[in-house]
Amino acid sequence: MPLQITPLIKQSTVNIRKNEREISAAKGMLLPSVNAGVSHNYGFGSSINQNTNQREAINTQYDQIYVQANWELVNWKNYLTISLSKINKESSVYKMKLAQNEVKMNVIMMFFTYQNSKSWLEVLQTQISGIEDQIKRTEKEVEIGNRPKSDVYDIKANLGTMQEQLVSAKNLRDLSKINLLNALAITKDTLDFIMPEEHLIDSNFNDSNFVQNLLEKNPAYQAVLKQIQAQQKNVDIARSGYLPTLNGAYTWSSFYNKILGQPAADFSEQIKLNKNQQLSFGLNIPVFNKLQVKNNVEIAKLNVINSNYDKDIIINDLTKSINSIKAQFLNAQEKYNLLEANFENQKLSFQKSEEKYKEGLMDAYTFFLVRNNWLQANYNLINSKNDVVQQTELLRVLENEL
């Protein structure tokens, strides 16, 4: 069945896009920042006369324009942040794959729960249909004296129990379908789910590296490895606080000045004459920063240790999950093989009992039990095969084949 884009996967996609923006933002820190400005000012009272360079009691107009660029020429933190952003993006990709796997595994389990509930409902419907036909035949035989009246009472008593089970089975089927649709992020019941014909396969459990191979391919494991890399990069970023930084700055400016009420040179002419440029470089050397850098480095180191513990937890959880699926697969496969081998004997036993019942050698209640046991055996075989296929599909998810 096609995998729908669930809200969980959509969130993971948004996180990847956010990380791409963080990479772009980190690269942007290598570029200069440029600002431009203009100011228009009036001065009243004692001021410097720009014409005589003497302080006088005058009213003036002063306009200034400027362009300023600042550039961090050398700051190792900027380069390290770019590397960290790339690692975070790779981690987000693995987390998205992990979200996809979680959705797939949940859908698989909900799908087979729904299929099993459907199969059980079909068994009950077949049983009830057979009981109703059996009641009619038994009543006719009672009329002609071939059967005792108690046979009818026995069958009708069990019919009520079966009908009660049918109501519960319908509810179970409906709830399991709601859960399946929810797992697929489908809000309207517009789909019908069909169990395809599956050929059972053997998995290579005898490979000594089986668990390790699945573990290393798992996105949860890959994501925690990227998390450790990110924390190690944070240690380098924290240490960059010990290193000096080199900054550069460039400023271009000019101004226009006039005494209010007096003639003055044209604006454009003054701007040309009063142009000024300034280029500067500054080296900032950290000497003492209240132990902040040292503490940041030590905290970053502790985060690395903590991430390694996260890795151990992930390994334990994944190993448990893989071994659990392996054990359930082997158990389901063994159970299916046993049921399949005994299925033909159960079929022959039912056919013989049916002949005895028709010949009057078996009472209706006993045949009712035999028939229901035969139908139950059919369901058990279907359910067992579904269990094998379910575990197979779960393994395919872990092997990144879905």
pLDDT at 300 over 90: yes
pLDDT given for residue 325 in this prediction: 86
The mean pLDDT of 113-123, rounded to a whole number, is 91
Q: Among 66-70, 157-161, 339-343, whose mean pLDDT is lowest? A: 157-161
Rounded Cα gap, residues 297 and 381, in angstroms: 61
The mean pLDDT of 338-357, rounded to a whole number, is 84
pLDDT at 363 over 90: no
Q: DSSP state, 90?
A: H
Question: Which of residues 49 and 348 earns the better pLDDT score?
Answer: 348
Span 308-337, pLDDT tens digits: 999 999 999 999 988 898 888 889 888 888
Q: Is the torsion defined by CA of 205, 209, 211, 213 positive or negative?
A: negative
**Do residues 219 and 104 make contact, with C-beta atoms less than 8 angstroms apart?**
no
pLDDT given for residue 3 in this prediction: 53
pLDDT given for residue 1 in this prediction: 45
Q: Among 21-30, 200-209, 233-242, whose mean pLDDT is lowest? A: 200-209
pLDDT at 279 over 80: yes
Q: Among 19-28, 184-193, 347-356, whose mean pLDDT is lowest? A: 184-193
Token pair of 50 as six digits: 């720009």
**Do residues 82 and 26 make contact, with C-beta atoms less than 8 angstroms apart?**
yes
CA distances from 141 to 9, 155, 350, 364 (A): 64, 14, 21, 11
Rounded Cα gap, residues 314 and 322, in angstroms: 12
- Listed in order, strand segments (DSSP E) in 31-162 are 33-49, 54-74
The mean pLDDT of 151-177, rounded to a whole number, is 85
Token pair of 175 as six digits: 């709830």
Q: Among 62-76, 188-202, 204-218, whose mean pLDDT is lowest? A: 188-202
Average pLDDT over the chain reads 87
Q: DSSP state, 295?
A: H
DSSP 171-187: HHHHHHHHHHHHHTT--
Q: Provide the pLDDT confidence category of residue 2 given band limits of 50, 70 and 90.
A: very low
Q: Provide the pLDDT confidence category of residue 4 given band limits of 50, 70 and 90.
A: low
Span 57-84, pLDDT tens digits: 888 888 999 999 999 999 999 999 999 9
Q: Provide the pLDDT confidence category of residue 199 given band limits of 50, 70 and 90.
A: low
Put simply, whether the predicted model's pTM sits higher than 0.85 gets the answer no
Span 40-60, pLDDT tens digits: 998 888 877 766 778 888 888
pLDDT at 135 over 70: yes
